[in-house]
Chains A and B, each alone.
Chain A
Amino acid sequence: MAFKIIASQCTACGACEFECPTAAIKFKNDTYIIDAKTCTECDGHFDTQQCAAVCPVPKTCVKA
């Protein structure tokens, strides 16, 4: 149960990093990466996944 970021489409704007309620997103090698172990898909925090809701590029922050 986790989300992932398609690195080739990521603009590295960083919005997902500070919206993530479990601090599962980190900047690494010019892109943002979601730690599958920490990602909860926002279950218990929000109705929708925050990273996907704020991501400016369609189909870039998706279910892993």
Chain B
Amino acid sequence: MSQQPFTISLDSLMTPIDFEAMKTAATSGGCSTSSCGSSAKPDDLDEATWDKIKDHPCYSEEAHHYFARMHVAVAPACNIQCNYCNRKYDCANESRPGVVSEKLTPDEARRKVITVANTVPQFSVLGIAGPGDACYDWKKSQATFAAIAREIPDVKLCISTNGLALPDRVDELANMNVDHVTITINMVDPEIGAKIYPWIYFNKKRYTGVEAATILHQRQMLGLEMLVARGILVKVNSVMIPGVNDEHLIEVNRWVKERGAFLHNVMPLISDPAHGTHFGLTGQRGPTAMELKALQDKLEGGAKLMRHCRQCRADAVGLLGDDRGQEFTLDQLPEAVVYDPSKRAAYREIVAEERGDHVRAKEKAIAAVKENAGDGHSILVAVATKGGGRINEHFGHAREFQVYEASTKGVAFVGHRRIDAYCMDGFGEDATLDATIAALEGVTHVLCAKVGDCPKDMLTAAGIEATDAYAYEYAETAISALYAATASDAGQTKAVA
């Protein structure tokens, strides 16, 4: 690892942390360009917006390689019922929105957040994201944010809401410096809404059917406009439900873009009879990875899309895709906690350098891909990573792959595929690899830090080329090289034919 020029592996930050070694690594061996200090800010963003999102893993695809969020489940009461939600469900092994193992009081949340801030240096964002609605169960959300803002002032505060109670809370959110709000908007047509929401509770009454969906729709649009008017960044989440709202989400995208939403995140419906949700029990299926990608591709050019969402648990802790929530359950929290900012500060210093370097490498890679795009071919590449935007995870240990597309448009992150780790105690299981191959539908190449001959052969047989030849490089740099290689292959094939 020390022979590689770009190997400040961010996973080495987990425990124990040796900052001196990292600093030495950061300033030696090929990282000389990183000292120029240019920022990672993309050209199409103004400074003020970039300042808001640069440390937020959910709002910036680039930031999600470096920064971690945590959710605290302090606001369990909800004012609507969705057909994809079962309020009774609770499981430690499930990873999906609304699922949580323990509800916290605001004071328990305070202890948990400070413990995480002292342990996870990547921690930058605190969110309240269910179960329940943060705006409806407002007193608990407010008490939690107030306590954290007092003790860790630089943590970004963020909430998710269904939007129904949102207009009542916009001013208070603005006063508390909450600068990121996610609204789940699944429809702008109440006829479609009636198929997703059986009821809402509003102004002391329960409403059903189209009437309920009409009120919800009006409140969502009002809340969105009020937030945008106050300069609060809004992400819109939409659950893609095949046959119910899939095509309709193009219309939703248009509406939210017109009203100033910063990001649109289309997520696949998670539906399983075992979850006991209405959709699960009635056999409503979720979309396949390729159906989701096809819809997201159609939405390009509308409101900016978020493609790196992991649909995390309501009590998730850590980098997206790497949940450490089980390390911070109530029984493990100390009674008295004092915030120590040193780890987070040291991490930020290193990341600032590494990020500038990554952005320059990425720009170079994208330019190279565009240059090599003469034959118009495209490849879909799955990358095994532990963070930092690098190929630094073994094939057998990966629990997800980040998927990039290289085409005439350059290299872009297009999504992730969740899998079960192939390697369990040193034994790879064929059954697990079948599932992995199925999860990699459409993918042409897999890049990882290490891959054994056996899984490699099985992937080859399935038409997927896996390699560790680009270990520890930035994903985009490796994909650019791979793209050039496949371009010349395509050229040769043509020449031979």
Q: How far is the CA of A34 from the CA of B79 in the complex (A)?
A: 20
CB-CB < 8 A to A54: which residues of B? 77, 79, 201, 206
Within 8 A of B (CB), among A43-64: 46-48, 50, 53-54, 56-57
From B77, B88, B139, B205, A15 is in contact (CB under 8 Å) with B77
Q: Is A47 in contact with B87, judged by CB distance below 8 angstroms?
A: no
Q: How large is the interface on A (under 10, 10 to 19, 20 to 34, 35 or more residues)?
A: 10 to 19
Residues of B within 8 A of A56 (CB): 78, 81, 87
Tell me whether A15 and B78 are in contact (CB under 8 A).
yes
Size bracket of the B interface: 10 to 19
- The distance from the CB of B155 to the nearest CB of chain A, in whole angstroms, is 25
Q: Could you tell me which residues of chain B, from 190 to 229, have a CB within 8 Å of some CB in chain A? A: 201, 204-206
Residues of the A chain whose Cβ atoms lie less than 8 Å from the Cβ of B88: 9, 11, 57
Given contacts A53-B205, A53-B206, A54-B201, are A13 and B79 in contact (CB under 8 A)?
no
Does the CB pair B201–A12 fall under 8 Å?
no
In the bound assembly, the distance between CA atoms of A54 and B139 in angstroms comes to 17
Closest chain B residue, CB of each to CB of A42: B204
CA–CA, A12 and B78, complex, Å: 11
Residue B455 lies at the interface, judged by CB distance under 8 Å to chain A? no
A19 to B201 alpha-carbon distance, docked (Å): 11
A19, B41: Cα distance in complex, Å: 46
- A13-B205 contact in complex given A18-B77, A56-B81, C-beta closer than 8 Å: no
Say whether B77 contacts A48, CB under 8 Å: no
Of A14, A47, A53, the contact of B201 (CB 8 Å cutoff): A53
Interface members, chain B 56-105 (any A CB < 8 Å): 76-79, 81, 87-88, 103
Given contacts A56-B87, A57-B87, A57-B88, contact A13 B206 (CB under 8 A): no
B204 lies within 8 A of A50 (CB): yes
Partner of A14, one of B79, B137, B204, B205: B137
Task: Determine if B396 is an interface residue (Cβ-Cβ < 8 Å).
Answer: no
Whether B321 is near chain A, meaning CB under 8 Å from some CB there, is: no
Chain A residues near B (Cβ < 8 Å): 9, 11-15, 18-19, 46-48, 50, 53-54, 56-57
Give me the 7 closest cross-chain CB pairs, A-B, nearest first. A15-B77, A53-B206, A13-B76, A56-B87, A13-B77, A54-B201, A11-B87
